[in-house]
Structure 1
């Protein structure tokens, strides 16, 4: 049995559900928006941590679960809890439920995509960069500071800079231009991460177990997710074949973090380096799949069932 946990209309979740249905694989969708109707019983025994999860139309013994796609959103933002006081019974119950499912998944025998513990490096981008460097990737020259003078000196040394959030919170990567330099005094109250701009194409790599799906992104934008705003037109996506050694390095690095599925953002500058900007432990792969036809959701479905990969390094389709 496979548990698919999250909001069923979310695109990556929806594509995995479709893939499981096509394969007629037994699965249960744990719809977060039905939080008021979900119940979890946990118990410990000689076989470890088990229990039973029930919801509208289903009841699952956790010992029977072999795969989990864990893609919960922040339950504090669920529409079903809007208007509830912070300390209301509904909010407290929701938090306990989500915490306990996460704790169970951390210790379950099932294959979990992905355990929360494996996602930890994403909460500190500087720490993640250290791990990437140790794994053999190049990383951009980086400065984290709240001192405008240090930023000026860093820009004098490295030329064009970009800036971004230090944490795992989503932020828009932007180039540091002259008008931003005039606003640098504001960083005295909030340290910011500055990096030397890396030229060359963006390549998003999705690892799914031992499988690799790479996509090259054609855009003039600094942050291709916001290409329409930054460059005036959407980014264009095409399947891309990585060098074998780079593909293997991506797989090994994701595995070293305990990530069954990961999204690595690479750049290939003109000096021949392979630069990794960061690793996303919960990638929205559906956008890349929709634009390239790469069967990433099918690969995730196979992974959840424990089926072997059909290819080590997925070629363009």
Structure 2
């Protein structure tokens, strides 16, 4: 039995579920933040071992039978209700059902608490340096004087959000802040309001997207004329390439250090041909890459979920 925790509309999870079905796995798909308690009931006993059951609209799941959890994109447990009673109930659901699912003694791809920790860019950058990746000079600050000094030291700098977050702009439209070139003259005292990540811009020839599943690395070279290629997927071309020497081993070492078995890495390819680490998304998107190139990421994730833990 494999639990798949994700939202209702998730074509990427559908790809993995298709592979699991082909291997004869039993699957229970649920979105705890939406489905509980409307269509989910559960009980868990914590005695000599954790055991219990979980009922969905179509499945009865014995917690003892769960061999793996695929944690994709479940809806967050809503704890921002205006009603104090609703806020209390949502938090109890998060720590009760969510805590139980996170405590199952099985394989996770990836464990939600490990994902949360690994999403912190300072931890990523520190770990990336430890495993031997080359990094662009980076500053996280809310001090204008340090931001000005950093801009003066480096020829060109960019701003990147410390966490990619959607918001509604002044026109009422959904928006996202991408990596953006910074004019040093635009840095002013408003920088004091929060933390900002500034980075020396890499003089790159292309980008490299590396999806690591267990001990396997899938490398795709991305050609784009944009600073941040995610802004327009219609302006991208893809080429499946071999992993540069040492990169796959270092990427696996980074995941091992963060107790992860899956990660999506982004590198810039410098003029000298060497990769420069930008970030690792512990729950990154990859489905469109498989569609565009034919690389077998879904099959590899299914294999990992069904692999007997060592």
TM-score (norm. length: structure 2): 0.86
CA distance in 2: counterparts of 1:39 and 1:226, whole angstroms: 41
Matched, 1:202 2:207: yes
CA distance in 1: counterparts of 2:182 and 2:279, whole angstroms: 23
Relative to its length, the structure with more helix (as a share) is 1
Compute the displacement of 1:307 (Å): 6.6
CA distance in 1: counterparts of 2:257 and 2:101, whole angstroms: 18
CA distance in 1: counterparts of 2:281 and 2:97, whole angstroms: 22
8 Å CA contact 1:205, 1:263 repeated in 2: yes
Match of 2:14 in 1: 14
- The C-alpha deviation readout for 1:83-111, integer Å capped at 9, x for no partner, is x644344x644443343344234432211
CA distance in 1: counterparts of 2:117 and 2:136, whole angstroms: 17
Compute the displacement of 1:278 (Å): 1.3
- The C-alpha deviation readout for 1:57-76, integer Å capped at 9, x for no partner, is 21101110001111223232
Match of 2:107 in 1: 111
Compute the displacement of 1:287 (Å): 2.1
8 Å CA contact 2:148, 2:187 repeated in 1: no
Compute the displacement of 1:112 (Å): 0.8
8 Å CA contact 1:113, 1:259 repeated in 2: yes
Match of 1:314 in 2: none
8 Å CA contact 2:119, 2:281 repeated in 1: no
Moved more, 92-101 or 262-271: 92-101
Helix, strand or coil for the counterpart of 2:84? coil
CA distance in 1: counterparts of 2:260 and 2:142, whole angstroms: 33
- The CA RMSD over aligned residues, in Å, is 2.5
CA distance in 2: counterparts of 1:54 and 1:286, whole angstroms: 29
Where do residues 229-268 of structure 1 align in structure 2 (5 Å cutoff)?
A: 233-268=234-269
8 Å CA contact 2:143, 2:191 repeated in 1: yes
8 Å CA contact 1:123, 1:168 repeated in 2: no
Where do residues 77-116 of structure 1 align in structure 2 (5 Å cutoff)?
A: 85-89=82-86, 92-116=88-112
Matched, 1:181 2:182: no
- The C-alpha deviation readout for 1:9-55, integer Å capped at 9, x for no partner, is 21221211222223332111114443311122111122x22221111
8 Å CA contact 1:266, 1:276 repeated in 2: yes
- The C-alpha deviation readout for 1:87-143, integer Å capped at 9, x for no partner, is 344x64444334334423443221111112322443421222111101111111011
- Any gaps of 5 or more consecutive residues in structure 2? 167-175
CA distance in 2: counterparts of 1:94 and 1:157, whole angstroms: 48
CA distance in 2: counterparts of 1:87 and 1:293, whole angstroms: 49
Out of 159, 163, 168, which is 1:163 matched to?
159
Helix, strand or coil for the counterpart of 2:235? coil
Q: 1:17 to 1:94 in 2, by over 3 A?
A: farther
User: How many residues are paired up?
Assistant: 296
Where do residues 264-279 of structure 1 align in structure 2 (5 Å cutoff)?
A: 264-271=265-272, 273-279=274-280
CA distance in 1: counterparts of 2:144 and 2:256, whole angstroms: 38
- The C-alpha deviation readout for 1:124-178, integer Å capped at 9, x for no partner, is 2122211110111111101122233322221221111111122465663333343
- Any gaps of 5 or more consecutive residues in structure 1? 309-317
- The C-alpha deviation readout for 1:200-232, integer Å capped at 9, x for no partner, is 22111111111111111111212211136xxxx
Match of 2:220 in 1: 215
Q: 1:53 to 1:130 in 2, by over 3 A?
A: same
